[in-house]
Amino acid sequence: MKYIDEFRNPEIAKKLIAKIHNSAKKLPEQKTIMEICGGHTVALFKFGIHALLPEKINLVSGPGCPVCVTTNKTIDKSVWLAKQPGVKVFSFGDMMRVPGSLGTLADAASAGEKVRMIYSPMQAVDFAEKNPDEKCVLFGVGFETTVPTHAAAVLAAKKLGLKNFFLLSAGKLTPPAMHALLEDEKVKLDAFIAPGHVTTIIGADAYKFIEEEFKKPCVVSGFELCDLLESLLKIIDQLVNNEHKVEIQYTRTVTFEGNKKAQEIIDEVLKVADTNWRGLGLIPKSGFKVAEAFAEFNAETFFNIPDFSDEEPTGCRCGDVLKGICVPEECGLFGKKCTPEHPVGPCMVSSEGSCGAHYRFG
């Protein structure tokens, strides 16, 4: 445990906090830094980092939770599929409780519909191979960290010659969402803490537009206490020195090039497409669809899925929370009608959602 303990060493943390405060004194005004990873959101609250920062640093959460940015329309598609005869839907756990207009996948499961929670997309492939009479749909939600596993499942199904396996692709690309946030006049951001696991796949070069087009600092961070403090210090030092570059703090896993093998698997099976994000709307080239070469595995085209609305639940401000426009406590439902036991919006459902993190640690 020595290696992990070093990243939570209180003496190192105290020194980093002191450096953050000394550097922030040189800032002419308050600066807003957004983390865009659900794992970072939870870690920042768990370690109490918000309370340790100087007043000139405003730390906000962005659309870093794939469950949270999935639209009601997409959730309704998955629930509708679960209600069809001879269809079984396979989903990761967090998506089971996200409410749409047709209820949740958990509701469908309790009503006798066929829904199975999985830990790996290959579980869906294995089931499809053993049960050729059932149509098996993988509900593919996730960012670039998870999307390679969706593509790998399709490749495995093709190799096995399966005719009963399908992918409902709802994967998202992180950099286009960051670009959309920087273009949004309602969102005032001075820097990004970039996600560690996502960047392990796509590489830090994917954020070059933040440096070149928007002239903002961007630091890819790890998830431990000292990782996050060091990343904040790097950003503040850039702001003080009027610099704007992409840096990697999380050097033990992240490179500028990323994981080429994972990128190749994605490129083979999926194609980049325009897609809707909860709170952010339609973002060009920010999602994944099944490529034409694998059309027989595309749930969107195989099943005659009805069109559903993307209307948000009444009073829910998940969209504003995801853009950093408000904090969860500013939503009238937070902690009242919307709790982890009875969530109204996905930001309260997911273990990495901002509302869930505020409720547990805030």
pLDDT reading at 4 higher than 70: no
**How much is the average pLDDT of 181-198?**
96
**Burial (CB count within 10 angstroms: exposed 0-12, middle 13-18, buried 19+), residue 302:** middle
Residue 77 domain flag: yes
Q: Do 129 and 200 belong together in one domain?
A: no
pTM score of the predicted model: 0.94
The residue range of the domain holding 285 is 67-173+261-302
> Residue 151's closest CA among 173, 169, 176, 132?
169
Q: How many domains are contained in the chain?
A: 3
> Where residue 107 sits, what CATH number does that domain have?
3.40.50.11740
pLDDT reading at 221 higher than 80: yes
**Least confidently predicted of 54-63, 100-109, 155-164, 252-261:** 100-109
Contact 289, 74 (CB under 8 A): no
> Where residue 53 sits, what CATH number does that domain have?
3.40.50.11750
pLDDT reading at 247 higher than 90: yes
Provide the β-strand partners of residue 193: 35, 219
User: Which pLDDT score is estimated for 5?
Assistant: 73
Amino acid letter at 200?
A: T
User: Which pLDDT score is estimated for 75?
Assistant: 95
How far is it, in rounded angstroms, from Cα 268 to Cα 255? 22
Average pLDDT value for the chain: 95
pLDDT reading at 311 higher than 90: no
Q: Roughly what angle, to the nearest 10 degrees, separates helices 10-24 and 225-240?
A: 20
Residue 222 domain flag: yes
**Least confidently predicted of 108-122, 134-148, 203-217:** 108-122
Q: Do 168 and 283 belong together in one domain?
A: yes
pLDDT reading at 1 higher than 60: no
* 127 contact partners, CB below 8 Å, separation of at least 6: 88, 90, 116, 134, 136
User: Which pLDDT score is estimated for 2?
Assistant: 57
Percent residues over pLDDT 90 in the chain? 89
Tallying the residues shown for the chain, one arrives at 362
